[in-house]
């Protein structure tokens, strides 16, 4: 027998160990014989002696306060949602290696269990996110027993990004993580000069695993820098800044890009705190020299980062600076034109096709502080849009205060350097120091991006200038404020931070730019229909479901009361409202006022009811010839064309059993001119006019199969552009008229009701259309 076999037989079977590592759904694992921690083990296992990690948990809707949202992570006993678990391959690179990481293989060294190992509270291990730069927060040790200051060092996955350092204040920390597509395993190291020497041998480290899935199926937010045709390609900055970091267009692009990633990190965290998961908008990215880390620039590292489009305007610097939108600036000659200039330039650059929707955030590079007139020239803070383009614009007057790289974020939001108005603006007298200027510049531009995504002004949050404390989102301590003339917040916890209002996050939840790959496909019809029915009830229907309703009383500029349906297990495609129920939700002093509703669908569509009480009055009802009640639906079209007059047709087939509807003739050109209903006895009824195409178009019903009209699909805006007939057999006619005009709306009676007639108005063509329904 060979000698090596004899030696093999002498060894105990128990001495044979595999060094295979694995992870399971509950985080349990087996260690290899050399005592190293398996690469696929979660951070909660590595420092298991510290107790269970705090689960990621959305806010409780019943206890949420928009003005001061609770943390919702360290409190409560709700278990975390199940997360997919992936086995992570450790790094093979020694670049950017640090303590606790093997230089040769990048695998974790044995870590001593430490009560001071960082604990991430804002996100569960192995969670899925959809943004490159992720904001986290957590604690070190027990803040209540022994608050410590120190430094948190983040070592990124496979050393693909340089380590970054973040301050730990009273045992609390906030940090930005740079993620690679796919699984990311990051190490968090804590060091502090206050730790006793007897503890220096311990490694105060923990691990967190995050899975990054970039979104490529949602429309991106495009970043644009607008430059005058004779621009010097510089922005306002004090001489010290110019000497230290420059103020040219390349620096402007880097600062703008970093600010954009802060918007994204902030919004993703806010969406999660509101219970909507880590959904967020995305940017168009391109392979280019990296700028998110200062060391990338030194090394010439290429990365996939947000693209900033530089668009050259056909206006000069003088022309740009002669225009601004700010109403308080008396010297402004043609207010509002900057927005029009931006729209024209952006449309010419992107050249969107018909039906495409572009989302663009633009910055004017040539904005300039005019010391003599004490005004900011060439600046407009505005967000909104036109057909096919949603646009936010802002100026570059605060750009010098922005961080250029991730390493500068905390420094930018802590810089107390006073604003020198010999060179730069003190915007709205709220930017007396550099960190406050960063708040105003980055935050106010994000406010306009909120308008771009459909958010109005709110009672609190970013859409009501809450961005003056944007710094608290990224820092644990706040310096002295020249705005309040008071020392800043000593410890900035999540409840002290800036936030998006709950209604903003509801809009984002249903916005196409925030859709996730796991979201079910939506119906192309995002419209909302309102139906007055029996017993004073009002029914709301929407193919994509009713998402939420905003309630306004007379003289309300902002929404203070709303109803949500987003947490329902099933999509609420039909909702019943009563006047008494709605008024019971209002404060007592407002319950007798005129009530206005704004209703939002799950597809992002909306419908406004100017006076809810009118839906339950006699004006919303009509009596059919057979004595039954008929109810008018919400009307499409504005009915405001010259010569427009109301019309109504009660279909004879709806109340005379012997009347059989055979066909409908549609009169149309580039819009709807009229409908004529033909019966078996040779009679007909006309709604509108016999205009447009000579003789019209005919849609015949299959009466042998008892086919009847079930509803209509309309293209409508100011008037009725086109119409399609829907039947109970599932047949659809073509769209008669302009098939792409206006927006799409489905008019199908709610369950238990059928079409009894049509009503609306007509001028040169039909400019108003609705249904009359009955039991």
Return the active site residues: 448
Residues in the chain: 775
- Concatenated DSSP letters of 596-616: EEEEEETTS-EEEES-GGGGG
Q: How many Å is the maximal CA-CA distance in the chain?
A: 110
Burial category of 595 from C-beta neighbours within 10 Å (exposed 0-12, middle 13-18, buried 19 and up): buried
Sign of CA dihedral 517, 518, 524, 529: negative
Residue 230's nearest CA partner among 154, 314, 155, 330 is 314
The sheet carrying 720-727 orders its strands as 736-737, 720-727, 709-716, 743-747
Do 189 and 155 touch, CB atoms closer than 8 A? yes
Residue 251 sits at φ, ψ, to 5 deg, of -65, -40
Strand partners, 577: 538
SS3 annotation, 636-668:
ECCCCCCCCEEEEEECHHHCCCCCCEEEEEEEE
Residue 491's nearest CA partner among 476, 512, 481 is 476
Instruction: Give Cα 5 to chain centroid, integer Å.
Output: 66
Judged by DSSP in three states, 530 sits in strand
Burial category of 686 from C-beta neighbours within 10 Å (exposed 0-12, middle 13-18, buried 19 and up): middle
Burial category of 635 from C-beta neighbours within 10 Å (exposed 0-12, middle 13-18, buried 19 and up): middle
d(CA 70, CA 89): 37
Residue 279's nearest CA partner among 270, 288, 268 is 268
Q: Is 170 left (phi over 0), alpha (psi -120 to 50) or beta?
A: left
Do 754 and 773 touch, CB atoms closer than 8 A? yes
CA dihedral 227, 230, 235, 239 (to 10 degrees): 170
Pairing relation of β-strands 182-191 and 150-155? antiparallel
How far apart, in Å, are the Cα atoms of 350 and each of 254, 346, 347, 357, 360? 22, 6, 5, 11, 10
């Amino acid at each position: 027998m060979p000698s090596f076999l004899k030696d093999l037989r002498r060894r105990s079977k128990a001495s044979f160990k595999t060094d295979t590592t694995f992870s399971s759904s509950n985080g349990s694992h087996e260690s290899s014989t050399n005592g190293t921690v398996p690469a696929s083990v979660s951070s909660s296992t590595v420092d298991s002696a510290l107790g269970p990690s705090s689960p990621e948990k959305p806010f409780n809707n019943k206890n949420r306060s928009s003005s001061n949202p609770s943390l919702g992570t360290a409190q409560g006993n709700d278990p975390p949602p199940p997360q997919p678990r992936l086995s992570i391959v450790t790094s093979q690179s020694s670049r950017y290696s640090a303590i606790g990481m093997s230089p040769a293989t990048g695998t974790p060294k044995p870590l001593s269990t430490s009560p001071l190992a960082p604990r991430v509270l804002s996100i569960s291990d192995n969670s899925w996110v959809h943004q490159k730069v992720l904001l986290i927060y957590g604690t070190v040790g027990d803040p209540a027993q022994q608050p410590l200051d120190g430094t948190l060092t983040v070592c990124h996955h496979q050393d693909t990004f340089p380590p970054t350092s973040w301050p730990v204040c009273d045992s609390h920390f906030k940090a930005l993580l740079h993620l690679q597509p796919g699984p990311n395993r990051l190490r968090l190291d804590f060091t502090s000069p206050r730790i006793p020497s007897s503890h220096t041998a311990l490694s105060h480290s923990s691990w967190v695993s995050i899975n990054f899935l970039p979104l490529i199926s949602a429309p991106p937010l495009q970043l644009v820098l607008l430059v005058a045709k004779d621009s010097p390609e510089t922005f306002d900055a004090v001489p010290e800044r110019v000497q230290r970091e420059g103020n040219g267009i390349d620096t402007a692009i880097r600062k703008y890009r970093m600010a954009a990633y802060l918007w994204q990190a902030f919004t993703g965290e806010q969406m999660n705190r509101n219970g909507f998961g880590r959904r967020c908008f995305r940017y168009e990215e391109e392979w280019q020299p990296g700028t998110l880390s200062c060391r990338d620039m030194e090394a010439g590292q290429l990365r996939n980062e947000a693209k900033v489009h530089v668009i050259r305007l056909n206006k000069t610097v003088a022309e740009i600076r002669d225009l601004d939108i700010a109403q308080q600036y008396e010297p402004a000659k043609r207010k509002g034109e900057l927005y029009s200039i931006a729209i024209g330039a952006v449309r010419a650059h992107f050249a969107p096709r018909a039906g495409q929707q572009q989302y663009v955030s633009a910055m004017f590079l040539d904005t300039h502080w005019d010391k003599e007139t004490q005004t900011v020239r060439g600046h407009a803070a505005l967000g909104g849009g036109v057909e096919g383009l949603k646009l936010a614009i802002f100026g570059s007057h605060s750009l010098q205060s922005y961080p250029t790289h991730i390493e500068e974020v905390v420094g930018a939001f802590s810089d107390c350097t006073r604003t020198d108005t010999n060179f730069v603006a003190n915007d709205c007298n709220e930017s007396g120091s550099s960190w406050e200027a960063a708040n105003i510049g980055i935050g106010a531009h994000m406010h306009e991006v909120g308008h771009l995504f459909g958010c109005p002004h709110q009672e609190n949050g970013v859409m009501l200038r809450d961005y003056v404390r944007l710094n608290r989102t990224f820092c644990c301590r706040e310096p002295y404020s020249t705005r309040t003339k008071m020392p800043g917040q000593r410890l900035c916890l999540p409840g002290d931070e800036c936030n998006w209002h709950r209604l903003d996050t509801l809009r984002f939840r249903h916005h196409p730019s925030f859709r996730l790959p796991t979201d079910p496909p939506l119906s192309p019809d995002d419209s909302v229909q309102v139906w007055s029915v029996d017993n004073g009830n009002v029914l709301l229907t929407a193919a994509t479901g009713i998402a939420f309703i905003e309630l306004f009383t007379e003289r309300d500029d902002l929404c203070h009361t709303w109803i949500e349906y987003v947490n329902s297990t099933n999509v609420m495609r039909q909702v019943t409202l009563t006047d008494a129920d709605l008024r019971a939700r209002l404060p007592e002093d407002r319950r007798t006022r005129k009530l206005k509703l704004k209703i939002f669908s799950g597809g992002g569509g909306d419908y406004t009811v100017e006076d809810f009480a009118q839906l339950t009055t006699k004006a919303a009802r009509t009596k059919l010839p057979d004595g039954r009640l008929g109810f008018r639906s919400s009307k499409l079209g504005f009915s405001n064309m010259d010569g427009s007059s109301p019309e109504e047709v009660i279909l004879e087939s709806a109340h005379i059993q012997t009347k059989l509807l055979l066909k409908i003739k549609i009169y149309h050109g580039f819009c709807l001119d009229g409908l004529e209903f033909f019966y078996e006895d040779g009679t007909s009824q006309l709604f509108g006019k016999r205009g447009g195409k000579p003789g019209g178009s005919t849609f015949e019903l299959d009466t042998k199969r008892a086919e009847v009209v079930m509803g209509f699909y309309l293209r409508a805006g100011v008037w009725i552009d086109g119409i399609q007939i829907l039947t109970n057999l599932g047949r659809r006619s073509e769209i008669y008229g302009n098939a792409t005009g206006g927006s799409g709306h489905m008019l199908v009676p709610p369950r238990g009701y059928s079409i009894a007639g049509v009503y609306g108005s007509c001028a040169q063509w039909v400019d108003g259309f609705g249904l009359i329904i009955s039991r």
